[in-house]
Structure 1
Amino acid sequence: MVGIPEVARRIADMVERAKEEAGINPETRLTSLGLSLSGCEQEATNKELEKDIRITFPDIADSYVVCSDTLGSVFTASPIGGMVVISGTGSNALLRNPDGTTYTCGGWGHFMGDEGSAFYIAHQAMKYVFDDMDSLKKSPYPIERVWDLIKQHFNVETRLDLLPHCYANFDKPFYAGLCKRISHAAEEGDKLSKHLLSEAGCCIANSISALLPKVQNELIKTGYLSVVCVGSVWHSWHLLKEGFELAMDKYDVPFDIKLVTITKSMAYGACYLAADAINYKLPRNYLDNFDVMYHYRTKERNGNGCNCNGNDFVAIL
């Protein structure tokens, strides 16, 4: 959004401030710098950023590793790669295999996707209410509580008042903020709110399952695949869990899946990648960098099935 030259300038400024805080001589040139940044999804753009830094700020570092924030999360938890699923304002799933091959599912933004994200949950809540009020499609559960939450969040009284928030004055983070209210309502037992979170869990499971055929054997030699969970929606895991399991049960997954949350900043992953790029044996303890949130055991499932957007899901619930 600010352009590559401005990003390069900000990175240079951050490096200088980091040196100052660490008590390092400002003239000291870094041997390797790891940059795990949101938006660095394309290799061509990453190389352009590196080139701009080298030309404009030639004394920062000898070596650079530029990658997405998702890869930083993956390598914080594992030295060989793995899978990460981001479910925050938006959503994205990424698999990085030991041989360097990378595959993604989602990450296309709210217009083309964001299933399972806070935005998705908020948008689905609005859609259920609008369709029910229009008698276009009956909501599976009463809409009154969710409608009250929508009016409170956007400070409106009618559906017409909501339209500027959907179009002319659209603010994705604010729009997605409705999800927090829905999560609280689900905690208190509102059925539609619980259903919305379960649907999101179903979508998250589908994004994971879409990447499973691409997983290389080295990632599952322990008998399970670790999936790093990043984003605020995961804080409501207990509300996502039912939908997640119902969706996973319809897939023939030959190995267990462990959902893990990283306990350290993804900057650790960027640092590890920077060290590996110059073959420096940086001490690290991966087990200290994450906690296991949930263990999906395939042999204990019975294959109920789930449809993220269909009536079958409602019937199962």
Structure 2
Amino acid sequence: MSAVYGGVEGGGTHSKAVLLSAEGDILAETDGPSTNHWLVGVDKCIEGINDMVQKAKVNAGLDPDTPIRSLGMSLSGGEQKAAIEKLIDEMAKRFPKLSQSYYITTDAIGAMATASDHAFWISHRAVKTVFDAKDNMAIPPHDITYVKRAMEEYFQVSDLMGMLPHLYRNFQKSYFAGFCRKLAEGAKEGDAFCRYVFTEAGKVLAQHIVAVLPKAHQDLFSGDLGLPILSVGSVWKSWELMKDGFTQVLSEAQASGFSHFHKYSLLTLCHSSALGGAKLGAQNAGITLALDYSTTATVFFSHSFTKQ
């Protein structure tokens, strides 16, 4: 069979791997656990990557003992040279049948933008508000009866003291972030505090865009989509709840001096950023994969600051 190229999207809660043909066709995709080496350590990180890619080889009908041509990975911390070198050296040494060459970049490059941690931010903000209210540290902006009850049900505790193991000894970021789903349910049912938290989350997400606006190339603002913003992470499933806060912050930024910022569009990937990782890995090996970019992302929201 002709050369095969692999890509990995390394997440803090779960990861994905993909194998592509030289023509850019997807041969196999697999899911796996967290491969954020800052959270799980180098050993578990590379073991998870190896397991996903080897499983993908089998699913694609390939010999698992034959290394693929290249493996490109978008991982958290991928911009740090020392960390990259350590991961690649360990993978090459421990798993010689995995790939002939390796390339690692940051997850922000692999996906262009990522917001996966905002589910944790929302959950943490809600829980902290309950604690602050109990300790008389701050008056909550809205009644917290719903969120307190939902918190006790989700974490299976009867009082705030019962939360301490979840915050310290037994802390699991992915499980804690899962509380965001209960908050989304409350927001959709009309709970004022839950809606407030999601509006605030929208503002925080928009601040990430504002932070990079001064560095964005002018060409990015001139297309039919305006500024394209790639939106990655499960938190974007709650876009309708975050929209008001998000649009408010960007509208304020546009009015404060970014006159060329006339429109923006939010896009979601049709495939994981493992696809981008595969492309970058192949490119690093001197190969250009033929990808159809018209099918890699779709627009789910557009906003113009001025009438067109």
User: Cα distance 1:297–1:32, how it changes in 2: closer, same or farther (>3 A)?
Assistant: same
Which residue is equivalent to 2:248?
Answer: 246
Give, as a single letter, the amino acid of the residue that structure 2 aligns with 1:244: F
Identify which range, 8-17 or 172-181, moves more after superposition.
8-17
Aligned to 2:148, the other structure's residue is in SS state helix
Map Cα deviations across residues 28-74 of structure 1 (whole Å, 9 max, x no partner).
44332222234434122112222333444456444322123332223
Give, as a single letter, the amino acid of the residue that structure 1 aligns with 2:252: K
Give, as a single letter, the amino acid of the residue that structure 1 aligns with 2:120: F
Which residue is equivalent to 1:143?
Answer: 144
- Count of matched residue positions in the alignment of Structure 1 and Structure 2: 263
Aligned to 1:183, the other structure's residue is in SS state helix
Which residue is equivalent to 1:122?
Answer: 123
Give, as a single letter, the amino acid of the residue that structure 2 aligns with 1:289: T
- CA distance in structure 2 between the partners assigned to 1:54 and 1:133 by the alignment: 52
Which residue is equivalent to 1:258?
Answer: 265
For structure 2, list consecutive stretches of 5 or more residues without a partner in the other structure.
Answer: 1-36
Which residue is equivalent to 2:220?
Answer: 219
Map Cα deviations across residues 183-222 of structure 1 (whole Å, 9 max, x no partner).
1010011111111110110111111111111112343342
Aligned to 1:85, the other structure's residue is in SS state coil
User: Cα distance 1:13–1:234, how it changes in 2: closer, same or farther (>3 A)?
Assistant: closer
User: Cα distance 1:282–1:174, how it changes in 2: closer, same or farther (>3 A)?
Assistant: closer
**Is the CA contact (8 Å cut-off) linking 1:164 and 1:170 kept in structure 2?**
yes
Which residue is equivalent to 2:70?
Answer: 32
Aligned to 1:30, the other structure's residue is in SS state coil
- CA distance in structure 2 between the partners assigned to 1:146 and 1:26 by the alignment: 48
How far is the alpha carbon of 1:124 from its aligned partner?
1.9
Which residue is equivalent to 1:52?
Answer: 90
- CA distance in structure 2 between the partners assigned to 1:277 and 1:42 by the alignment: 17
**Is the CA contact (8 Å cut-off) linking 2:72 and 2:280 kept in structure 1?**
yes
**Is the CA contact (8 Å cut-off) linking 2:67 and 2:96 kept in structure 1?**
no
**Is the CA contact (8 Å cut-off) linking 1:32 and 1:274 kept in structure 2?**
yes
Which residue is equivalent to 2:8?
Answer: none
Which residue is equivalent to 1:206?
Answer: 207
The TM-score with structure 2 as length reference comes to 0.75
Which residue is equivalent to 2:236?
Answer: 234
The TM-score with structure 1 as length reference comes to 0.73
Aligned equivalent of 2:114, options 85, 95, 99: 85
**Is the CA contact (8 Å cut-off) linking 1:146 and 1:193 kept in structure 2?**
yes
**Is the CA contact (8 Å cut-off) linking 2:64 and 2:97 kept in structure 1?**
no
Aligned equivalent of 2:60, options 22, 39, 46: 22
Percent of residue pairs bearing the same amino acid type: 35
**Is the CA contact (8 Å cut-off) linking 1:85 and 1:208 kept in structure 2?**
no
> How do 1:259-274 residues align onto structure 2 when only pairs under 5 Å count?
259-274=266-281
- CA distance in structure 2 between the partners assigned to 1:130 and 1:25 by the alignment: 54
Give, as a single letter, the amino acid of the residue that structure 2 aligns with 1:292: V
Which residue is equivalent to 1:181?
Answer: 182
RMSD: 2.5
User: Cα distance 1:178–1:29, how it changes in 2: closer, same or farther (>3 A)?
Assistant: closer
**Is the CA contact (8 Å cut-off) linking 2:266 and 2:299 kept in structure 1?**
yes
How far is the alpha carbon of 1:144 from its aligned partner?
1.3
Map Cα deviations across residues 140-176 of structure 1 (whole Å, 9 max, x no partner).
2222112211221222232233233223333322222
**Is the CA contact (8 Å cut-off) linking 2:279 and 2:288 kept in structure 1?**
no
Which residue is equivalent to 2:7?
Answer: none
- CA distance in structure 2 between the partners assigned to 1:174 and 1:10 by the alignment: 19
Give, as a single letter, the amino acid of the residue that structure 2 aligns with 1:297: S
- CA distance in structure 1 between the partners assigned to 2:184 and 2:137 by the alignment: 26
- CA distance in structure 1 between the partners assigned to 2:144 and 2:196 by the alignment: 11
> How do 1:68-83 residues align onto structure 2 when only pairs under 5 Å count?
68-74=106-112
Give, as a single letter, the amino acid of the residue that structure 2 aligns with 1:238: E
1:171 lines up with 2:172 in the alignment: yes
